Amino acid sequence: MFKFSKKILFLALAATLVSQAAVSAESEGLKTAYQAVPDVANSQAQVVYFRTADGNVAQGNANVYIDGEFQTALLAGTYTTFCVKPGSHVLGSWLADAPQYKGKQDKQSVVELDGGKTYFLRAGETQGEVLKLVSKQEATPLLMQTRLQDILLSRASAVVPCQNEYKDYVLSSDVLFDFGKSDESNIKAGGRDAISNIAKELSQNSSKVVVVGHTDPIGSAQSNLTLGLKRADTVRSLLVSDGVNVESASATTAGSKEPVASGCEGLSRSQKIMCYAPDRRVVIRSYAK
């Protein structure tokens, strides 16, 4: 009886803390924008759970549980990521489930998680929708508009530290290149500092660095591959000048083959350039020593 009451007390406190944090999130914004999650080892399965911030989001928090234990409470426009051992798990999100905490009692929302894979789940916005698996392609443009929910500590004993094969640093068009640009002189304010800060981490922790340039889909596929490589080469050169081992760093291009923006079709050219801005990015992939 004491243990049950203690858990109920914790969840009530968690709901209060998240409600208070929601005010802060609206006024200041959660700090960490979504970063593409790296692959995990075959001994683990990775889960990315998220809520959108559009007008269809329901009121209240979505409490995420794993095997009947509390993971976190998602505000609108936030996400959480965690790893578990492969196998069968009871996994889902429950919208404003206090005080019954149905997620703790649920035994039906079972999902089979395979080792080495990442699963993307979107929190349901109705009381009856607790488990909604979506593809990476569908999830990515929605996740690009979210921020990490790291206000609460996980209470789920099934969750283990992720053993990532690599770590990605994403430099967006906010700090890097405008449409069609790729030279060092084109880097925006703050971009140079961002690259320098990443270089400090890479020089200490990386055995290999691969810089991947991305573009929007405007223009031919071949011209976009060329532009993506120029962007990657520029960032690689700056990383090397900031201390990254020249022999361990390489540059490559994805061109426009891995888009993250959506809903840009049918717009004018100038509107498309603005809409496709998330596609104009450079990804720095770091492999651990």
Query: What are the DSSP calls for 235-248, one per residue?
Result: HHHHHHHTT--GGG
Tell whether the model's pLDDT for residue 3 goes beyond 60. Answer: no
Q: Which stretch of 136-150, 180-194, 223-237, 266-280 has the lowest confidence by average pLDDT?
A: 136-150
Region 122-127 average pLDDT:
86
Residue 60's closest CA among 149, 127, 110?
127
Helices 221-241 and 191-205 sit at what angle, rounded to 10 degrees?
70
pLDDT band at 253 (very low <50, low <70, confident <90, very high): very high
The reported pLDDT for the residue numbered 16 is: 45
What would the two tokens of residue 67 be? Answer: 């095997």
CB neighbours of residue 24 within 10 Å: 11
Tell whether the model's pLDDT for residue 29 goes beyond 80. Answer: no
Beta-bridged to residue 283, according to DSSP, are: 170, 212
What would the two tokens of residue 150 be? Answer: 């790291």
Tell whether the model's pLDDT for residue 248 goes beyond 60. Answer: yes
Residue 244's closest CA among 181, 280, 281, 289?
289
Tell whether the model's pLDDT for residue 25 goes beyond 50. Answer: no
Domains delineated in the chain: 2-148 (no CATH), 167-288 (3.30.1330.60)
Region 94-106 average pLDDT:
85
State the amino acid at position 233 in one-letter form: D
| Residue 23: CA count within 13 A, CB half-sphere | 4
The reported pLDDT for the residue numbered 206 is: 86
pLDDT band at 67 (very low <50, low <70, confident <90, very high): very high
pLDDT band at 277 (very low <50, low <70, confident <90, very high): very high
Q: Which stretch of 20-29, 168-177, 270-279 has the lowest confidence by average pLDDT?
A: 20-29
Instruction: Quote the CA–CA distance of 222 and 217 in Å, as a whole number.
Output: 11
CB neighbours of residue 208 within 10 Å: 16
Instruction: Quote the CA–CA distance of 79 and 141 in Å, as a whole number.
Output: 13
- Percent of the chain scoring above 90 in pLDDT: 60
62 contacts 139 by C-beta, under 8 angstroms: no
